[in-house]
Structure 1
Amino acid sequence: MYNGRMNLIEHVSQFNQRMAVYSKDEALMCKAFSSSLRLMAMRWSDGLRSNSIDSFKQLTQAFGSRFITSNRVPRLLDSLLSLSIREGETLKANSNRFWKMYNKIKGNYDDVAISTFKTGLPTEHGLRKSLTGKPVTSLRQTMDRIDKYKRVEEDH
């Protein structure tokens, strides 16, 4: 269901996949498309003038034009590179913020993420010393190590 905040292209693509069997029936595709919309987008669909859309392609183009400002733009790698632990911030809060940002970045930057997370910690931080002394080779290892230090932090 399109809620006004998700990626437009992904939504149309998923709809097309679900409706592949009916893809030759333009009228059905257009009518069924509104059933994939939540309230705000459905109001837009219901408000289209009768006979103003001639094809499913035209409908998806109008949909894209109307909701383009709602489309989330992937964050740039720079957004991640500038993150570091804030004064007084817990490791848990910092890692949550870091991974939330990482998930918004398009592309595979695992090595950069590992290095950036480590350098975002103060040099005297136990986790940074651990990541420097015994380097990790994957995001999974990094997250496991972070979790270990978060548990220690929570126990204190």
Structure 2
Amino acid sequence: MDLYDGTTDSRHHLSNFKSCMYLVDTSDATHCKAFTTTLTKIAMKWFDSLLSRSVMCFDDLARSFLTQIFIQKDKLKHAPSLLGAKQEVGKFLRVYMERFNKACLEIQNLPAEAVIMGLVNGLREGPFSQSISKRHPTSLYKVQERAVKYINMEEITCLREPTPR
């Protein structure tokens, strides 16, 4: 069973967990203890924040889980947060692309148009940004394809430049 990190459907995770535990036919206390082994990241933080003795049975734990994770879900990042990702001066395109891709993974149901807009918005002035502004990409595949070309060009240029002593 996959670990639950707070970014997917909490009801689906709980349902999968209950199905697995049904097959094992264990006690309510075991359900409570086993459930914590399926949590990671924000979900584990939620569990760690529960007050001692606040859970009397698995149904209490499940109800609290669904309620709190639903509240936390509102705190997840949304598409406009991509506009804050900027390519830093002196940093390679590869570094920016990796950081930008990680930011995209934190956003659920992210439209391709928002990814392209966020990526273009964050590029610093240079050959890749000029290329994008001249011929705006129509798909994420096209953006990645073009980015790889410019990343390779940057890396080749770096290899050719003599290193200072």
TM-score normalized by structure 1? 0.67
| Corresponding position of 1:150 | 151
- Change beyond 3 A, Cα 1:149–1:9: closer
| Corresponding position of 1:19 | 18
* SS state at 1:19 partner: helix
C-alpha deviation, 1:84, in angstroms: 2.1
Question: What letter matches 1:107 in structure 2?
Answer: N
- Change beyond 3 A, Cα 1:122–1:62: closer
Contact 2:7 2:108 in 1 (8 A): no
Distance in 1, Cα, partners of 2:63 & 2:99: 35
- Change beyond 3 A, Cα 1:30–1:13: farther
Distance in 2, Cα, partners of 1:127 & 1:121: 8
Contact 1:98 1:117 in 2 (8 A): yes
TM-score normalized by structure 2? 0.64
Distance in 1, Cα, partners of 2:29 & 2:146: 50
C-alpha deviation, 1:146, in angstroms: 1.0
Q: 2:101 aligns with which of 85, 99, 120?
A: 99
Count of residue pairs brought into register by the alignment: 145
After superposition, give the CA deviation of every residue in 1:66-116 in whole Å (9 maximum; x if it has no partner): x76xx5732132321122211111111111111111221233331122123
* Structure 2: unaligned runs, 5 residues or longer: 158-165
Q: 2:86 aligns with which of 84, 87, 111?
A: 84
Distance in 2, Cα, partners of 1:86 & 1:13: 39
C-alpha deviation, 1:64, in angstroms: 5.7
| Corresponding position of 2:33 | 34
1:115 aligns with 2:117: yes
Q: 1:61 aligns with which of 27, 45, 63?
A: 63
Distance in 1, Cα, partners of 2:147 & 2:7: 35
After superposition, give the CA deviation of every residue in 1:105-139 in whole Å (9 maximum; x if it has no partner): 2333311221231232234x111222233332111
Distance in 1, Cα, partners of 2:152 & 2:64: 50
* Structure 1: unaligned runs, 5 residues or longer: none
* SS state at 2:98 partner: helix
Distance in 2, Cα, partners of 1:76 & 1:8: 12
| Corresponding position of 2:140 | 139
Contact 2:116 2:140 in 1 (8 A): yes
- Change beyond 3 A, Cα 1:105–1:9: closer
